[in-house]
Structure 1
Amino acid sequence: DTIFKTNLEATQVIARQLRLRNLGGIIICDFIDMDNLQHRDAVMEAFKKALARDHTRISVNNFSPLGLIEMTRKRTRESLAHVLCEPCPVCKGRGELKTPQTVCYEILRDIVREARQFDASEYRILAAQQVIDMFLEEESQSLAQLSDFIGKPISMLVETQYNQEQYDVILM
């Protein structure tokens, strides 16, 4: 009986959250398992009644053998997360940052490209601390080899305002 009441309450909460968060697509609702078929039917009716207040297109299937309700809902506006949040300024919404080592390789490629086009007397790397640390430790040999290859010195400077992906190569 407690499970039945809990599931009835859940129908109201689920319907409300679907509207508030403007969830769309295929949605699976996992109710607490009920053996009583009358209770299942009552929960399904309560769920459909709660969803009737929603003014968007909804399709609801009956309980699956596993006690799940599968439904679809059309999103009517931007998702709540999209409205309340903005893309990360560092990763620009990708959700990932390039590793310091990856940024080091990009910098090395940029220096090769610049050395082919321009005749600078020196190259200076401005980058975040993590990237400079990578050049000083694991990638020190790569940096030395590149300096020998282009025949010019390469210096580094930590730019505290830069994020891990930002860098500049300055021709001097």
Structure 2
Amino acid sequence: HRNLEETIFKTNLEAAAALARQLRLRNLGGIIIIDFIDMKDPEHRRQVLRALERAMEKDYAKTSITGVSELGLVEMTRKRTRESLEHVLCEPCRFCHGRGSLKSPETVCYEVFREILREARAYESKSLLVLASQEVVDRLLDEESASVADLEEFIGASIQFQVEAMYTQEQFDVILL
């Protein structure tokens, strides 16, 4: 029984450090409720709360952490000071007038690169064809042309691009030729 309590305590300590890192990485803000694994020992609860506070001291954003509630939950607030990851990687959707979001052409280009690498590792081919929207193909041929050339050299195959008018900005296909 003592080993189980120690395991829970150590797991919660690791979770506190990981949680603080993820909050900073994802730049989450607002009211955050943390449900650690229930601990019977009040000293363990205090140490986990202190570990969370220490980990959050590294955070540039203003945070406030309350104690452990009667339900065993830790409540905290975090003020976001920069744009969220979604805001950086996406752009407002032009079809729903900004109520949703689309991946930016730059983000889709990197997804295309990862898919090309996956296909090249899985199948042998001398040439690939990428079908994508006009915005993505334009970016691949202009701003990302050096990356495309490096990728062609790395995989030992040529990469061709074709605009597919019916594709949304996020859609693409990689076809082996």
TM-score of Structure 1 vs Structure 2, range by shorter chain = 0.5 to 0.7
Alignment partner, residue 89 of structure 1? 94
1:10 counterpart = 2:11? no
Determine helix, strand or coil for the equivalent of 1:32.
coil
Structure 1 CA distance, aligned partners of 2:26 and 2:16?
A: 15
1:70 counterpart = 2:75? yes
Structure 2 CA distance, aligned partners of 1:67 and 1:58?
A: 20
Deviation at 1:162, TM superposition (A): 10
Q: TM-score, normalised by structure 2?
A: 0.52
Structure 1 residue runs of 4+, over 3 Å off? 160-163
1:53 counterpart = 2:69? no
For residue 29 of structure 1, the aligned residue among 29, 34, 39 is 34
Write the mapping of 1:1-172 to structure 2, written as runs, cut at 5 A.
1-95=6-100
Structure 1 CA distance, aligned partners of 2:86 and 2:166?
A: 28
Cα distance change, pair 161–33 in 1 and its aligned pair in 2 (3 A): same
Deviation at 1:78, TM superposition (A): 0.6
Determine helix, strand or coil for the equivalent of 2:54.
helix
Q: TM-score, normalised by structure 1?
A: 0.53
**Percent same amino acid at aligned positions?**
62
Alignment partner, residue 104 of structure 1? none
Gaps of 5+ in 2: 1-5, 102-164, 169-177
Aligned residues: 100
Q: Aligned partner of 2:96: which letter?
A: C
Q: Aligned partner of 1:5: which letter?
A: K
Gaps of 5+ in 1: 97-159, 164-172
Q: Aligned partner of 2:33: which letter?
A: I
Q: Aligned partner of 2:19: which letter?
A: I
Q: Aligned partner of 2:68: which letter?
A: F
Task: Encode CA deviations 1:11-49: one digit per residue, 9 max, x unaligned.
Answer: 111101111111111111111111111110110010000
Alignment partner, residue 108 of structure 2? none
Q: Aligned partner of 2:80: which letter?
A: R
Deviation at 1:80, TM superposition (A): 1.1
Alignment partner, residue 109 of structure 1? none
Determine helix, strand or coil for the equivalent of 1:28.
strand
Q: Which has the larger radius of gyration?
A: 1
Determine helix, strand or coil for the equivalent of 1:86.
strand
Deviation at 1:87, TM superposition (A): 2.1
